[in-house]
Structure 1
Amino acid sequence: MSDQLPGGVGISKLRVYDGAPAADGLVGGSPHMHLACSEGYYVLSGRGVVQTLNSRGSTDTRLEPGAVVWFDPGTIHRLVNEDELTILVLMSNSGLPEAGDAVLTFPQPHLADPAAYAVAATLTGTGETRLASAMRRRDLAIEGFTALRAAYATDGPTALDQFHADAVNLVRPRIPEWRQRWRDGAQRAAAATAGYLEALERGSGEHLPAAVVRALAEPTGRRRHGMCGLLDVYVQGVPPRS
């Protein structure tokens, strides 16, 4: 039986950054895009907006308690915190986001140079120093995001072509590692379901006696500085309960 969450998803609790506003006067996280993972939000408390940009256009979606929002890889997204916004985040392909499946919308010269991108994307320090580093990263990403939105308004979907190409080049060296994580996670979960269905079709419930219960009483890591805010994370590999 799997020690993964159902479907091989990842889960975390996100408290969206509420510090100093960015250059456009809005408070929140760093705009970025996932290349292989879809992402979903369930709003626990507070209020805010998720700004998105993809080849279909630019959208601002309201986030209020109880709202559910999700989007595909290829969607640039930025969380805006209006009032203590806290979200339950669900990610497909658990382990891939943690392995780097995200590219920040830095200005193009940073994207074209992997070394410069790595320096700009890496947080430094601890405590307040680390928070200041996260805000500098956010501001640089918003600079690029603002330019992309303006270019899209003029040129349409082709305005994203260069960003997409640069993002692919940045993550391409990581694909062998990502493929293994996918095999160990989401692919294994899907294969298990296929096995269950085949057994049931044969009239067999051979997998049912192996059922176990797993639980985490609390996050395995708290208040980690992520792209969008402070994360309480849940690492998979949970032992069964007796």
Structure 2
Amino acid sequence: MVKPNLPHPLPGAVGLSHLSAYDWEAADGVCGGSPHLHLVCTEAYVVTGGRGAVQTLSPDGYRDIPLEPGSIAWFVPGTVHRMVQGGDLRITVLMQNSGLPEAGDAVFTFPPEVLADPDKYVAAAAIPPGTGAETAAAARRRRDLAVEGYLALREALVVGDSGPYLEFQRAAARLVRAKVPNWRELWRAGALATVERTGAQLDALEAGEPAYLSDATAYEAAPTRLGGFGMCGRRDEYNLPGTTLPYGGE
């Protein structure tokens, strides 16, 4: 295995993207994205425009968190979340452990029969590359399938039955288990290396030998793909190593 080399991560080795929530209406009459969870990454929404909400499922039950300019919402691993469009909702997404979501950390809330078969799951999650009508149609079908599974989970959780939600978490963990060695390498090259670099800098400062400051410089970047079809909406991405490379199949 070739180990990843991520020499210039964003601060904290976070992932970064911008989303405009889907305005497609789902089976329950709600417009928004594809419900999913992350296995090891905390995700944050920083609202930059419009109105909407994020619906979450967790051991706390079902929540509907309003989103408006300036508000922030974040969810830890295992929290099912669904972005809801309320009118021109625009969000900057900050993602822990950059590179891991793109490597498969995110799992859709597809119905149990899809989650139980890795091949079916891959087929249901994949969409054609590009930003055209064919890709949009596939992304919408994927969203609708995720909403189908999500609504069943939510209905059970609302009446006090956490069994389907907990089984979804276990099914998601089974789906990604084989990917963990690759995730570990991405984590070591990104988030862990960033933390260790700070430790080395503190050691140097304490020793009175801050030679690392001679490497001071600045970097810049601009979005390299506009309007891609992400899980929650149209997604602007930065092609920075380990940051927001496109999700597989998108």
Normalised to the residue count of structure 1, the TM-score between the two structures is 0.93
CA distance in 2 between counterparts of 1:13 and 1:124 reads: 21
State whether residues 14 and 88 of structure 1, in contact with CA within 8 Å, keep that contact through their aligned partners in structure 2. yes
TM superposition shift of 1:2: 4.1
CA distance in 1 between counterparts of 2:7 and 2:205 reads: 18
Equivalent residue in structure 1 for 2:76, among 72, 77, 82: 72
Partner SS state of residue 26, structure 1 = coil
Report the AA paired with residue 86 of structure 1: R
Give the unaligned 5+ runs of structure 2: 1-5, 243-250
TM superposition shift of 1:197: 1.4
CA distance in 1 between counterparts of 2:41 and 2:129 reads: 29
The range that moved more, 155-164 or 176-185, is: 155-164
TM superposition shift of 1:142: 0.7
State whether residues 2 and 189 of structure 1, in contact with CA within 8 Å, keep that contact through their aligned partners in structure 2. no
Question: 1:122-137 to 2 correspondence within 5 Å?
Answer: 122-124=126-128, 127-137=132-142
Equivalent residue in structure 1 for 2:61, among 57, 67, 70: 57
CA distance in 2 between counterparts of 1:224 and 1:159 reads: 31
Question: 1:1-242 to 2 correspondence within 5 Å?
Answer: 2-19=7-24, 21-124=25-128, 127-216=132-221, 218-237=222-241
TM superposition shift of 1:156: 4.1
CA distance in 1 between counterparts of 2:200 and 2:150 reads: 44
Report the AA paired with residue 17 of structure 2: S
Partner of 2:247: none
CA distance in 2 between counterparts of 1:201 and 1:124 reads: 53
Give the fraction of aligned pairs with identical amino acids, expressed as a percent: 48
Q: 1:82 to 1:107 in 2, by over 3 A?
A: same
Normalised to the residue count of structure 2, the TM-score between the two structures is 0.90
State whether residues 57 and 63 of structure 2, in contact with CA within 8 Å, keep that contact through their aligned partners in structure 1. yes
Report the AA paired with residue 228 of structure 1: C
State whether residues 11 and 88 of structure 1, in contact with CA within 8 Å, keep that contact through their aligned partners in structure 2. yes
State whether residues 125 and 133 of structure 1, in contact with CA within 8 Å, keep that contact through their aligned partners in structure 2. no
CA distance in 2 between counterparts of 1:156 and 1:212 reads: 54
Give the unaligned 5+ runs of structure 1: none
RMSD, aligned CA? 1.6
Partner SS state of residue 110, structure 2 = coil
Report the AA paired with residue 114 of structure 1: P
Write the deviation string for residues 101-156 of structure 1: whole angstroms up to 9, x where unpaired.
Answer: 11100111100111111111111375112111111111111111110011112344
CA distance in 2 between counterparts of 1:2 and 1:106 reads: 36
Partner of 2:245: none
